[in-house]
Amino acid sequence: MNTAADTTPASPPPGRCPLCGQSNQCAITAGQPPDSCWCMQTPVSREALARIPSAQRGKTCICPHCAQPVDDTSILSAQS
The contact set with Zn ion (CB under 5 A) reads 17, 19-20, 63, 66
Q: Classify residue 77 by burial, with Cβ atoms within 10 Å: 0-12, 13-18, 19+.
A: exposed
Minimum CB distance to Zn ion, residue 57 (Å): 14
**Closest separation between CB of residue 53 and Zn ion, Å?**
13
CB closer to Zn ion out of 41 and 79: 41
Distance CA 55, CA 39 (A): 20
Which residue, 54 or 79, has its beta carbon nearer to Zn ion? 54
Contact yes or no for 21/12 (Cβ under 8 A): yes
